[in-house]
Amino acid sequence: MALRGRLDWRGWRGWAFEDLCAWFLFAALVLQLLLVFDPRYRDFPFAAFAVPLVVVAARAWRGDWPGHWPGKAEGWIGGSLALAALAGAALEGPANLEALGWSACALLLAAPALSPAIARRLGTPRPAGP
């Protein structure tokens, strides 16, 4: 999530986009935790995460997952977001379709951060990254 300790600014577009995605993931985690622990007077943040959701869905559809394996911070944030989304869906129940929709969106946002961990568990070979 930091600037990855790089002093070479020529390839900034690649890592800046990944860092921006990590910040959106962190913001989604904070909002999801607020919805789980104190849901009063809070709306589901569909509008705030519409663009990141479209980007993640388009990258998944194209098979264009992040070129590098996310670090530990991204993995923890993604895992925490997935667990909080499942907890939020369980707390709200199947009658609240808006909560289920947001939980599905949060799981979609967490998917790129969790895909390397799932691939390691399944024994999938690690792709060559930059």
pLDDT digit string (tens) for 81-97? Answer: 999 999 999 999 999 99
Q: What is the predicted pLDDT for the residue at 74?
A: 85
The Cβ-side half-sphere exposure at 38, using a 13 Å CA radius, reads: 4
Q: Which of 13-22, 51-60, 68-77, 120-129 has the lowest mean pLDDT?
A: 120-129
Q: Give 3's contacts (C-beta < 8 A, 6+ positions apart).
A: 15, 19
Which whole number is the average pLDDT over 56-66?
77
| Category of 69 on φ-ψ map: left (φ > 0), alpha (ψ -120 to 50) or beta | beta
Instruction: Report the distance separating Cα 77 and Cα 37, nearest Å.
Output: 17
Whether 100 and 75 have beta carbons less than 8 Å apart is answered as: no
Whether 15 and 4 have beta carbons less than 8 Å apart is answered as: yes
Closest by CA to 58, choosing from 17, 119, 96, is 17
- What percent of the chain has pLDDT above 70? 72
- The pTM (predicted TM-score) of the whole model is 0.77
pLDDT tens, position by position, 22-46: 889 999 999 999 999 988 888 899 9
Backbone angles phi, psi at 127, to 5 degrees: -70, 155
Instruction: Report the distance separating Cα 79 and Cα 81, nearest Å.
Output: 5
With cut-offs at 50, 70 and 90, classify the pLDDT of residue 114.
confident
